[in-house]
Structure 1
Amino acid sequence: MRIAVLDDDRLLLEMMERVIHEMGNTCQLYETGQACLQGLRRETFDMLIVDWELPDTSGPEVIRWARQHLDASLPILFITHRSEERDIVEGLQCGADDFMTKPVRVAELKARMHALLRRAYPECTDDVQTFGPYTFTRSSLSVTFGGKEVVLTYREFALALLLFQNAGRLMSRDHLREAVWGQNSEVLSRTLDTHVSRLRQVLQLRPGNRYSIAAVYGLGYRLDSHEI
């Protein structure tokens, strides 16, 4: 999972980054609301964590923008020094899914993040997942469709499953590279393109079929579903 964190406390951001990596996820850190909004316009994320008090805007304003312009199912966690009931109500009413008060306790943070991600993406823990005529089996790294089984490499399988899980959603190149190859990977763009090209071929993800992979110039890829 790829998580965006917005807070102007550098020490807290470093702690959040460490915790998110320990959970097996990647993250992008932002210290101002404007920087975060620019990132949300360009990139795709699976979760958003937002502080209330920011140097240039407020957490509620960022969350309201996210709810108006991003996927409605995106889980959002509010983290703030505020603890009055009216603040909690305002935080939830503006669109947050959960609310944590500072100082942040690591065990509680992990538990709340796990709960939000599990609720938003329950399919990510299943060994077998089906999308139309395609059946993905994690344990064998195989995809079955049209009466045949295709065994993929680990990277190919991870990339294909990520695209199917987000069908209809534009996935940025950075998101795909980080999710499949890891945040610190120096994988080249042509490596991603080569993997996408192979998936188009072996899984028949071309226009005219039930599913096809569309390239959005300068941004990334999107798996489109078509009624046949």
Structure 2
Amino acid sequence: MRIAILEDDPNQSLLFQRLLGMGGYEFESFDSIQALMLGLQLGDYGLLLLDWRLPDGTGEDVIRMLRGSLRSEMPVIVVTANDDERDVVRALNAGADDYVVKPPRAMALLARVQAVLRRVRGEQGVSSGRIGRFAIDVEGRDITCEGRPVRLTQKEFDLAFHLFAALGRTVSRKQLLEQVWNNEPGSSTRTLDTHISRLRRKLGLESEAELRLVSVYGFGYRLEKAESGARLDRRMAGVRSDEDLLAA
């Protein structure tokens, strides 16, 4: 299932693409109403992420076009630069299913997407699912291990989500601080390392586990399956991280 993005700001469009990609969604981006309408004729999309203010019209124009066409049942989430009550009311009255405020946080956006898909079309969003012993529920913001709930703080859950979404890939400390803490004052690599230690203990992601959370020296962290991890460790032996190479 692909998500259509209508956003004329290239930077905002890239942000939405990155966040949706983190949730496992496929997507295609358009920068004008005309381009979107052509794309809808040629492709199949399960949801529209819609900017409210566009160079050739408004989000309200787009929604009314959709609701009066063969795409009348297509769910729409409006993205607005502010939470002005008038714009929100206009969007919902026009037929939008939900809205988010720029700049969106990853967890909030993916939870809204999943909730709309569940409510409107009965689909299960791919941002929730099962990995090994763990079941992740983004909307409920909880993780269970073999059916037992794991008590996590909000930051711990956000951190776990990003690591599970990047399973098998190394995520830099800088990226995790941006995604989870949004560069909040007082956040630091020490803050991240402390949360990683707690998360490793609470979820049992030790070196001998089926899933393990490993440190990549001088760079970041990687959540990996133990079998593939052994091969990665052998392949990466003696190879320095990107930060080490840049510092050399």
- TM-score normalised over the length of structure 2: 0.47
Moved more, 116-125 or 79-88: 116-125
Quick one: distance in 2 between partners of 1:108 and 1:6? 19
Which ranges in structure 1 are unaligned for 5 or more consecutive residues? 126-228
Shift of 1:86: 1.5
Question: Which residue number in structure 1 is paired with residue 43 of structure 2?
Answer: 43
Question: Which residue number in structure 1 is paired with residue 27 of structure 2?
Answer: 27
Question: Which residue number in structure 2 is paired with residue 196 of structure 1?
Answer: none
1:64 aligns with 2:61: no
Secondary structure at 1:28 match in 2 = strand
AA partner of residue 103 (structure 1): P
Secondary structure at 1:100 match in 2 = strand
Shift of 1:26: 0.7
CA contact (8 A) 2:7 2:32 kept: yes
Shift of 1:124: 5.0
1:96 aligns with 2:66: no
Question: Which residue number in structure 1 is paired with residue 75 of structure 2?
Answer: 75
Shift of 1:12: 1.4
Q: Closer, same or farther in 2 for the Cα pair 1:124/1:55, shift >3 Å?
A: same
Secondary structure at 1:69 match in 2 = coil
Shift of 1:121: 3.3
Quick one: distance in 2 between partners of 1:19 and 1:82? 19
CA contact (8 A) 2:75 2:97 kept: yes
- How many residues are paired up? 125
Q: Deviations over 1:45-102 (max 9, x none)?
A: 1001100111111111011101111343321100011322111110101110001121
Quick one: distance in 1 between partners of 2:31 and 2:123? 32
Q: Closer, same or farther in 2 for the Cα pair 1:86/1:38, shift >3 Å?
A: same
After the TM superposition, which residues 136-147 of structure 1 pair with which residues of structure 2 at under 5 Å, given as runs? none
Quick one: distance in 1 between partners of 2:18 and 2:84? 29
1:118 aligns with 2:118: yes
Which ranges in structure 2 are unaligned for 5 or more consecutive residues? 126-248
Secondary structure at 2:53 match in 1 = coil
Quick one: distance in 2 between partners of 1:122 and 1:88? 24
AA partner of residue 59 (structure 1): G
Q: Deviations over 1:20-48 (max 9, x none)?
A: 22222211100111111111122221001
Quick one: distance in 1 between partners of 2:123 and 2:34? 33
AA partner of residue 108 (structure 2): E
Question: Which residue number in structure 2 is paired with residue 9 of structure 1?
Answer: 9
Q: Closer, same or farther in 2 for the Cα pair 1:124/1:104, shift >3 Å?
A: closer
Quick one: distance in 2 between partners of 1:124 and 1:81? 28
CA contact (8 A) 2:52 2:58 kept: yes
Quick one: distance in 2 between partners of 1:106 and 1:20? 8
AA partner of residue 9 (structure 2): D
Quick one: distance in 2 between partners of 1:103 and 1:75? 21
AA partner of residue 100 (structure 1): V
Q: Closer, same or farther in 2 for the Cα pair 1:81/1:124, shift >3 Å?
A: closer
Q: Closer, same or farther in 2 for the Cα pair 1:103/1:124, shift >3 Å?
A: closer
AA partner of residue 6 (structure 2): L
Higher relative contact order (CA closer than 8 Å, sequence separation 6+): 1
CA contact (8 A) 2:117 2:123 kept: no
After the TM superposition, which residues 203-218 of structure 1 pair with which residues of structure 2 at under 5 Å, given as runs? none
Quick one: distance in 2 between partners of 1:121 and 1:23? 18
